[in-house]
Amino acid sequence: MPARSGAQYIADLKKMKREIWIGGERVDDVTTHPATRRGVESYAHLYDMQYDPALRDVMTYPSPTTGDRVGISFLTPRTPTDLARRREMMRQWANYSGGMMGRTPDYVNTSFMAMAAASDYFAANDPRFGENVRNYYDYIREHDLCLTHTLINPQANRSKGVNEQADPYLPAGIVTTNSDGVVIRGCRMLATSAPLADEIMVFPSTVVKNENADKYAFAFSIATDTPGMKFICRESLDQGKSHFDHPLASRFEEMDAIVVFDDVTVPWERMFLFGDMERCNGCYGATDAVVHMMHQVCIKNIAKAEFLLGVILMMIETVAIEQFQHVQEKAAEVMTYLETMKACLRAAEADAHLDSWGVMTPARMPLDIARNMFPKMYPRIVEIIQLLGASGLMAIATEADFAGPIAADVSKYLQAANADGKERVRLYRLAWDIACSGFGGRQELYERYFFGDPIRMMSALYFGYDKEPLKERIRSFLHQEDASVAPTPVAAGG
């Protein structure tokens, strides 16, 4: 089956009878429900881009099994050109939302692309699992499915291990196995975009570290309408307002949900790892899936930084604050962030190599740097929008004000040096939706946490960094007796 259009994506979502809960009510149809409808429409637009004649070759490639055109985020890169094609496709999707939709389907597609290429890793747990992961990758590619994923156990008690919580089935765990599959009970959090997704990938993060925690060690993927599965969503940030009033929330609400498994049977053919803690802990690194996911994230973050910088530059122009040095300095600070991210992406692609699975893989270190820097950069860029926007972020009359009896007042008093009242408010409402609204607050939290706890990510970077050549250089400097030059060490990092 070729890549889906937006209409096919929506039709498929409508067919699913899922347990999605929002505000105490079960939602029958996410494609029409006000909390999710416009997020679905935005995802549908992404699918439609695959059918835009101008983008067809950018977005799709001939399937290796059917020859039908399928999404490029599934393309297994074997050459630097393939990697560049993946980047360009992902850039198109990221630009559509200014990077505000973090979980577009390319994110999880990318991890299954890498895991299928590394199927021997799963086969070492059980030969069937290697085949399962390859078949599953073919299945989601040929049906162009949208996946959410969940990796983290409920917070409950972080001073205890996963197997020491108040209830053994607070975190999702294995209850039993039978000839049909594996029965799972308990909870996982969080699954961004769950109501918008056809399937859910339930994988370990790297936290199954305790002894006797085998029953929490598994990896599988199932349809979001699998019996027994419940998605409990947070309140929607889409309040049904116009694009003028809530420019981002009215378009890009992806939704987040916790996932409950009430004795869900996972068919054996959807199991990829089972009871093997070591393989669960090592899975993202050993398959290089994490590197390809970081590649997607870096592309998305560049799109987001560009979008925010554009807003900042427009704000500076609109109320004529360019002449102030600290304003220039703040905008330039954002420019340094953006250019740093771009340099990381470029370095990662320039130093790409064929990994042990035969996949052209970007260099890990520049992407690791990028993913560790962005959770600090993003809140700072948001702060800069607040610092430059000041009261302008609150003087944001609504679209209705511009159409009602006080239209003349708001048009006059909200005018700016370089925009009339309505155009100025249009821009500042966008800045508000980035920096002050509920949607904006969730974006900030998302950037801080979605790839993991920033503290533990930095710690992993510290331990993964090639430190020895640098220490050796200092050792030889300290013991240098004359003016001769210390030998240049092997370059660190890479």
Ligand X SMILES: Cc1cc2nc3c(=O)[nH]c(=O)nc-3n(C[C@H](O)[C@H](O)[C@H](O)COP(=O)(O)OP(=O)(O)OC[C@H]3O[C@@H](n4cnc5c(N)ncnc54)[C@H](O)[C@@H]3O)c2cc1C
Binding site for ligand X (CB under 6 A): 103, 149-152, 155, 158, 190-192, 256, 442, 445-446, 449-450, 452-453, 455-456
Nearby residues of 164 by Cβ (< 8 Å), 6 or more positions away: 157, 210
Task: Provide the minimum distance between the beta carbon of 79 and ligand X in the complex, in angstroms, as a whole number.
Answer: 31
Amino acid at 474: I
**CA-CA distance, 198 to 261, in Å (whole number)?**
16
From 217, 221, 195, 193, select the one nearest 206 (Cα to Cα): 217
Of residues 128 and 448, the one with the C-beta less far from ligand X:
448
Contact indicator for 294, 283 with CB cutoff of 8 Å: no
Alpha-carbon dihedral angle through residues 174, 177, 183, 187, given to the nearest 10 degrees: 0
**CA-CA distance, 152 to 131, in Å (whole number)?**
26
Task: Provide the minimum distance between the beta carbon of 289 and ligand X in the complex, in angstroms, as a whole number.
Answer: 14
Of residues 353 and 456, the one with the C-beta less far from ligand X:
456
Task: Provide the minimum distance between the beta carbon of 187 and ligand X in the complex, in angstroms, as a whole number.
Answer: 12
Of residues 280 and 360, the one with the C-beta less far from ligand X:
280
Task: Provide the minimum distance between the beta carbon of 170 and ligand X in the complex, in angstroms, as a whole number.
Answer: 13
Terminal CA-CA length for the chain: 40
Whose structure tokens read 């890009």? 252
173-177 sheet: strands from edge to edge = 25-27, 19-22, 229-233, 256-267, 181-192, 173-177
Of residues 80 and 452, the one with the C-beta less far from ligand X:
452
Task: Provide the minimum distance between the beta carbon of 421 and ligand X in the complex, in angstroms, as a whole number.
Answer: 34
Of residues 150 and 437, the one with the C-beta less far from ligand X:
150
Task: Provide the minimum distance between the beta carbon of 446 and ligand X in the complex, in angstroms, as a whole number.
Answer: 4
**CA-CA distance, 260 to 91, in Å (whole number)?**
33
From 116, 105, 87, select the one nearest 148 (Cα to Cα): 105
Task: Provide the minimum distance between the beta carbon of 384 and ligand X in the complex, in angstroms, as a whole number.
Answer: 21
Task: Provide the minimum distance between the beta carbon of 175 and ligand X in the complex, in angstroms, as a whole number.
Answer: 21
Angle between helices 325-350 and 364-389 (to 10 degrees): 160
Of residues 191 and 308, the one with the C-beta less far from ligand X:
191
DSSP assignment letter at 32: T
Of residues 303 and 359, the one with the C-beta less far from ligand X:
303
Of residues 139 and 449, the one with the C-beta less far from ligand X:
449
> How far, rounded to the nearest angstrom, does the alpha carbon of residue 490 sit from its chain's CA centroid?
35
